[in-house]
Amino acid sequence: MDENLRDEFLAEAQEIVEALSRDLLILDRAHKDDDELEHDRLNEVFRGVHTLKGLSSMFGFPQIGTIAHVLEDLLDDLRLGKVIANADIFDVLFDGVELFQRLLVETSTGEDASDLSLFAEAIERVSTPNAPDAARPTGAYDIDTNILAVLTEYEEHRLNHNAEAGATLMRWTVEFPLESIDTDLDIVRERAKPVCEIITYLPSMESDRDDAIVLEVLLATTNDVATLRGALGDTGTLEELPRSTVARESINPDRPAPPSKESRSDIAIERSVRAVADTVRVDIRKLDNLMNLVGELALVRGAVTRMTEALRARGVGRDLAPEILRINRSFERRLRELQDGILDVRMVPLRHVFDRLARVVRQVARENKKEVHLAVSGAETEIDKLIIEELSDPLLHIIRNAIDHGIEDVRRRELAGKPTTGTLVLNAYQKGNRVVIEIEDDGAGIDKAKLISRAVSAGRITAQEANELSEEETLALVFQPGISTQNSVTEISGRGVGMDVVKTNISRLGGIVEIHTELGIGTTFTLTLPATLAIIRALVVRVAGHIYALPITTVSEAIVLDANRVRTIESRDMLDLRDATIPLCYLDDLFEHESDRSGRRYVVVVVVGTKRVGFVVDGLDGQQDVVIRALGKSLANVRGFAGATDLGDQRVALVLDTPGLVEEVFRASPTPRLEASA
């Protein structure tokens, strides 16, 4: 298959699978609350699976089509009441979504490892009909057989269901203009949803206008006519379907058979390939290329600015200077708009990753035989597409640990006086140019004493060092490989792997992880990340003749280093800064540069999460927008650097990984340097 076609299929299929996961979670929660399936949502799931079946057939992915086909049959039986929804049914539906996701990954990587036989057996187990397959009577209503003849099997099922439930069946005859009928019907559906269920729309030949159509809308309601009128409006005529004194015993034997599943599939496939949204999918690599070009234009703009200033200094072209300045400002403004536009296209809501994690929460909770309620807020917070893809694994590890380690089983929660259902909260929000994600559970919390004991046993720290650890340093032991407070190893966790990966991956993205915990109350993991990695504003600094760039999003302020405000505390140089004391880091020492330190120096105060550090540098060369370039495979694992950038004046600067350097400062053995330099 053409690579572009395959990528188009994968993008479309991924959206469908994420929507299926989201809708199934809503259906599952609603079913647990009132044991009733929301039929509109169930229809959405059915249509999603049906569309996926059509796409996989069209693009030549038979395994995905096979799974979609059997799931579609199961969902159709659910819609028609032939099988009754229960926990086993939902387990199979969620397994199907997981299998879709796995097959999509295998399709993108060229692998072929999934075994469909076990899933086929699971479908077979739950698909045994437990409701009669024959059509049920519509109660005391005398419905025209001509109407029944054109209803689909599902529409007749909903008609019967509402009649048996005691709802009133109504017919609303209304005229719509042809030019706006699609929009008008959408409005009607939204207005009607709270007060009635629309069964079907039947066209009528009563209209005298060529530009309009009359529809007979069959609907079922438990509300009175006045309430219905209030929702539908005053147009058209509204009447109850005629009631019969004798229940209808049979349907016209000459009635045409309802369309088969296969014939309905053909119609739906045609509809599924029509474009319904004004959107275009773009490969993120193409956006990267555009952003690189914008970066090159920024360098050109800088060069033009410097040239203009040089000409003015020499007194050349005084008459042209105002015009050149005006053009340069216009260029800068348009360039900024272009940059902001590309960044905006790259940003996607965290909902995409949160929806996938919601499915994981349900699965892991069931595997642990625990009841866990997931609360999500801030899902519309936007972050760079490249970052969101790298977030999945760290968040997955944290959530698995929260359910397995943190949230107690039902018996322990009862003994602790807690609700039997544990709560896991996913919260996200924007904080300046950074995004904060919080994962909070109401579990047992982290036992710091046990954590220290395990670290000493594993040889990570000595007993003497253990006595000197602060609370923050103690909790940081969670991220050491091979350390776990779990007494036993499970399939999910307990081996001490995973949390070290979390910290490594978050640090690679230029973020940090912080932990807050209370024994018996719960634990919160806070992830602070840059909103984008594409193009950043940077402060250019000089250290012993070398040029570096510090992301401005982490810079709080820059001041002249005053030796009188520096004092040594526990072998570390600290700077008195207004009402606080912050540790100093001499970048020439950290990078092992030779420096005479004879001139004026500066302190760049950076803030990462709740940590503040003062980086001592030799000079400040101003701010500018920079595009970060990767250092390449050979230097990818060098700590402290996020990449490199071209400053546009034949200088290349290394971009500092501020969160990584801050962690290095707090981890390294302190050595006072101010007295030595003096």
646-656 pLDDT, tens digit per residue, is: 887 678 889 89
pLDDT in tens, 85-130: 888 888 888 888 888 888 888 877 766 656 677 787 788 777 766 5
pLDDT band at 471 (very low <50, low <70, confident <90, very high): confident
User: Is 353 exposed, middle or buried, given 0-12, 13-18 or 19+ CB atoms closer than 10 A?
Assistant: buried
* CATH architecture entry for 535-677: Beta Barrel (2.40)
Separation of alpha carbons 130 and 260, rounded Å:
21
The pLDDT mean for the chain works out to: 80
Per-residue confidence (pLDDT) for residue 44, from 0 to 100: 86
Calculate what percentage of the chain has a pLDDT beyond 90.
Answer: 14
Mapped onto helix, strand or coil, the DSSP state of residue 455 is helix
Say whether pLDDT at 396 is over 70.
Answer: yes
User: Is 658 exposed, middle or buried, given 0-12, 13-18 or 19+ CB atoms closer than 10 A?
Assistant: buried
* CATH architecture entry for 145-247: 2-Layer Sandwich (3.30)
pLDDT in tens, 169-213: 888 888 888 888 888 888 888 888 888 988 888 887 666 777 888
Query: How is domain 350-530 classified at the CATH fold level?
Result: Heat Shock Protein 90 (3.30.565)
> Do residues 89 and 136 touch, judged by C-beta distance below 8 A?
no
Instruction: Report DSSP letters for 212-228, one per residue.
Output: EEEEEEEEEESS-HHHH
Poorest-pLDDT segment among 216-230, 476-490, 512-526: 476-490
Q: Between 279 and 21, name the one with better pLDDT.
A: 21
Among residues 127, 58, 65, 57, the alpha carbon closest in space to that of 92 is found at 127
Per-residue confidence (pLDDT) for residue 295, from 0 to 100: 74
pLDDT band at 675 (very low <50, low <70, confident <90, very high): very low
What contacts 253, CB < 8 A, 6 or more positions away?
A: none
Separation of alpha carbons 33 and 310, rounded Å:
73
Per-residue confidence (pLDDT) for residue 618, from 0 to 100: 92
- pTM of the predicted structure, to 2 decimals: 0.62
Separation of alpha carbons 554 and 557, rounded Å:
9
Rounding to the nearest 10 degrees, give the CA dihedral for residues 401, 405, 407, 410: 130
pLDDT band at 281 (very low <50, low <70, confident <90, very high): low
Sheet strand arrangement including 372-377: 372-377, 422-431, 434-441, 522-530, 512-518
Among residues 508, 549, 540, the alpha carbon closest in space to that of 527 is found at 508
Q: What is the mean pLDDT of residues 55-72?
A: 84
Cα 111 to Cα 30, 107, 251, 678, distances in angstroms: 37, 6, 52, 63
Domains of the chain, residue spans: 3-126, 145-247, 284-347, 350-530, 535-677
Separation of alpha carbons 170 and 226, rounded Å:
13
Q: Between 410 and 3, name the one with better pLDDT.
A: 410
Residue 456: CB atoms within 10 Å: 16
Task: Give the helix/strand (H/E) hosting 366.
Answer: helix 351-367
> Do residues 602 and 558 touch, judged by C-beta distance below 8 A?
yes
> Do residues 372 and 403 touch, judged by C-beta distance below 8 A?
yes
Say whether pLDDT at 267 is over 70.
Answer: no
For the packed helices 87-109 and 62-79, what is the interaxial angle rounded to 10 degrees? 160
pLDDT band at 547 (very low <50, low <70, confident <90, very high): very high
Poorest-pLDDT segment among 44-53, 113-122, 338-347: 113-122
- Is 3-126 assigned to CATH 3.40.50.2000? no
Strand 347-349 and strand 382-384: the pairing is antiparallel
